[in-house]
Chains A and B, each alone.
Chain A
Amino acid sequence: MTGAFGDAITVPASQRAKKQMKQLVTKGIFSEQRDVWRMGASLGIATGNYVASGKRETFQNVNSLDPDEIFAAVMMGLYPQAAPEDRLKKLVDHAEWGIDEIFRRIEIGTIDWPTLGLLPTKSGKSG
């Protein structure tokens, strides 16, 4: 496979998302930041929400975050015509929204893992 994300080696994340992931690990809810990232990305993809704008910086390797290429496969399926770099950006946009949403729900105590991602969660924060 040539790769859904082309030659990209690392996945970026915003400072806010990185801080939120770190806090969720510190609180003992997740074992690793990459687990938060994957959960956030899934939630963003499943609900169709994303945050397109904002400054991002290096977070982790593509291979660490998506070792079994699940995200690559899904993104390829969802955006077959997109250029690899656009596909990766779209994934990061979904992850940014998802991480923020998980953090927010945990903060206000309304997180319910078993039903997470089941209902479409549309926020105004997209585009």
Chain B
Amino acid sequence: MADVVKIEKIKILNFGPFYGEHEIEFPGDGSGVHIIRGTTGQGKTSLQRAVLWCLYGRVVDRKGDEIPPTSLLNHNARQDDIYKFGVVLFINHDGDSWTISRRMKASSHSDKKYHSGMEINVVRDGTVLPDPDHAIQRIIPEDVSRFYFFDGEMLRDYEELLEGDSHAMMILRDSIERVLGVPLFKTARDDLYAIQKKVESERNRLIRQLGGKDLDELANNLQTISDEIDARKIKIRKMQEQHEKLDSQMSDLKRSLTDIKAVQELAQKRLELEKEIQVQETRRENMETELKELLSRFHKTILLPVAENVVQQLEIKHNTLMEKYNRKQELVGKAKALRQGIDGSKCTSCGTILDPSKLRRFESELASTQTLIDDLTEIPEPNLEFEGYATVLKRMKPQVADREKLEALQKRIGAVDYEIARLRPGLTEVEEKLKGVDAEEPRKLETKIQEMNRELGRLEGLVRAENDQLALDLEAKGEFERVLASISQDEVKLLGKRIDAVRSIAKVFDDAIEAYRTERRSDIEKIATGIFKKIRSKTDFASLKINEQFGLSIVTQAGTVFDRAEWRSSGEEQIVALSLIGALNKCAQASAPVFMDTPLGRLDVQHGERVLRYLPSLSEQVVLLVTDREFRKGDEAFLDGKIKSDFTLSYQSEKDGSRIVQTSSVGG
């Protein structure tokens, strides 16, 4: 490659989140890999936009809309009534030092005032270049800048290349052809057609000069048919443009419809999640009821050890009381019998007549029995209270709630709570996505798409009819030209030969363009496959296959071709897009620095590592604008020692905005 462009230094003034003057200097001539770190909102994308704005005087947002100058000025500068911002790039182009300086200043904060106050200045080795914008376009054309300065989040655009013939696809395909140098051939071919037309007009003029009614009529007819052919070609091109525009609009509508259908899928998912959560909540409610029931009996479980002890105490008390009571009853009976014996002087059990000595013994025994009875007088009538309470507590035992059952229930409740907690964030996320969705929108879009389809059909019919007519016109023109060939006048013959020669050469160029395209497509397919094999993780994916529009599909070991419909994984999309960009950089006519914003955002760790290993070979200068999430501690090792500098973008405060801090530098 002849042209090598590298950025050595970037100076920024009041641009985006950067208030005041800031500078990034890449060591040496800027070669190698440079890391610029920053979390979301620190200014990574703004830094890339600053470079693009300096080069081309305009930048677009992620939707492709141009960002107005009033939005590019730093917020604090505006607060301080400073209406100027600018970027200076110090570039090395094949050993020449270039300084590209673009500034905007305005007397008030309005887009119009800024546009009128834009200044661009390009100096090459100390010489101010007269046409700065043209000079920039010559070293890094804006058309191809998307392959050098890109946003990882926007890599999805490359899927367009697999999408039929959408307008976006055609713009992208033209950019790719521009990188590959195809337009050079096209320009040459178009120049030849212009020459052909000029010589044809010259020949007609000459024929008229020859005089004679027949020749004059022939010349007129030839001129008329040539004009008609030109007019018809313009008409066909206009209809094709209209077709492309309509087709592009329809692609947008189809995409919206797909998005809405995705939303409908989300709505279905919401229903399913709600149902699942409802089921879990009902289960939880039932378990809560079960838990409450267990808890209402759980006091008995807690009391059980105490109760068992109390039962023993109560039974002892009861038994002691009963023993005393029975003893008293026995003594009362005995005293009664003794008293009866004494009264009747006769033993009540054997009937023996009591002599005085026996009588005295009876009286003595009665007295001691009475003493024992008197000792037991405090024993009340049989009291069953203790026995009753003991029975209550004994009955309680089977009623206690099982601690193990309670533990199992708590585990089940915990599992349901976990399940609900797992499902809820998903539901919240889906609900967030569904906010403000019009249920009628899909139907409206489908109607519009049908109308557009009809209009496209009508246009296609018209183009077909015009093309048929064009073929007839060309045939008629050929007929006139055959008559012209019979004119013996030398000068006319000579012009005729020149026309034939130019036409032949133009045909050669037409064929060459197609041959060159085919050859470059094959090169890109080969190089992209090589890159893809380095960064893929699924070994089932054997290679990439290129289509007419430079779109790449994955080919499996078994030969199955996967295009975007089957990829499903955004990581795979990103890897294929990176393979294409890598191949384009290798095949490009010029080499420019590659700035990648959030390049690994959609990749898993494994793919991220593979891509990092490949990046140093993507271009002579690679600048990675990364978050700490995608470029983690230790990832530096994958870049094979090619890191030449490491910067961190750090947001200070609302007042100070973001700053660029250099954390390390190698070489220089």
Q: Let me know if B613 is at the binding interface, CB within 8 A.
A: no
Q: Let me know if B389 is at the binding interface, CB within 8 A.
A: yes
State A90–B311 Cα separation when bound (angstroms).
19
Docked-complex contact B410 and A68, CB < 8 angstroms: no
Tell which of A7-15, A54-62, A70-78 binds the partner: A70-78
State A1–B384 Cα separation when bound (angstroms).
7
Docked-complex contact B390 and A38, CB < 8 angstroms: no
Docked-complex contact B410 and A46, CB < 8 angstroms: no
State A115–B302 Cα separation when bound (angstroms).
9
Chain A 1-44, CB within 8 Å of chain B: the 1/0 string? Answer: 11010000000000000000000000011111001001101110
Contact of B392 among A31, A70, A78, A116 (CB under 8 A): A70
Knowing A31-B296, A73-B310, A73-B389, the reply to whether A68 touches B302 (Cβ < 8 A) is no
For the residues of A in contact with B, the DSSP-based class is: helix
Interface residues on B, range: 35 or more
State A76–B291 Cα separation when bound (angstroms).
30
Docked-complex contact A70 and B298, CB < 8 angstroms: no
Contact of B389 among A31, A69, A113 (CB under 8 A): A69
Docked-complex contact A39 and B306, CB < 8 angstroms: no
- In the complex, the chain A residue whose C-beta lies closest to that of B411 is A114
Nearest CB of chain B from residue A8's CB, rounded to whole Å: 16
Q: Let me know if A88 is at the binding interface, CB within 8 A.
A: no
Q: Which of B385, B386, B389 has the most CB of A within 10 A?
A: B389
Q: Let me know if B388 is at the binding interface, CB within 8 A.
A: yes
Nearest CB of chain A from residue B387's CB, rounded to whole Å: 10
Nearest CB of chain B from residue A45's CB, rounded to whole Å: 6
Knowing A80-B313, A116-B298, the reply to whether A73 touches B292 (Cβ < 8 A) is no
Docked-complex contact A113 and B295, CB < 8 angstroms: yes
Knowing A30-B292, A70-B392, A73-B310, the reply to whether A114 touches B300 (Cβ < 8 A) is no
Nearest CB of chain B from residue A14's CB, rounded to whole Å: 19
A70-108: which have CB < 8 Å to B? 70, 72-74, 76-78, 80
Q: Which 3 A-B residue pairings sit nearest by Cβ, starting from the closest?
A: A77-B310, A73-B389, A117-B302
What is A's interface to B at a CB cutoff of 8 Å? 1-2, 4, 28-32, 35, 38-39, 41-43, 45-46, 68-70, 72-74, 76-78, 80, 113-118
Interchain Cβ contacts under 8 Å between A and B, 21 examples: A1-B384, A2-B385, A30-B295, A38-B299, A39-B295, A68-B396, A69-B392, A70-B299, A72-B389, A74-B393, A76-B389, A77-B309, A77-B313, A77-B314, A113-B294, A113-B295, A114-B406, A114-B407, A116-B298, A117-B302, A118-B403
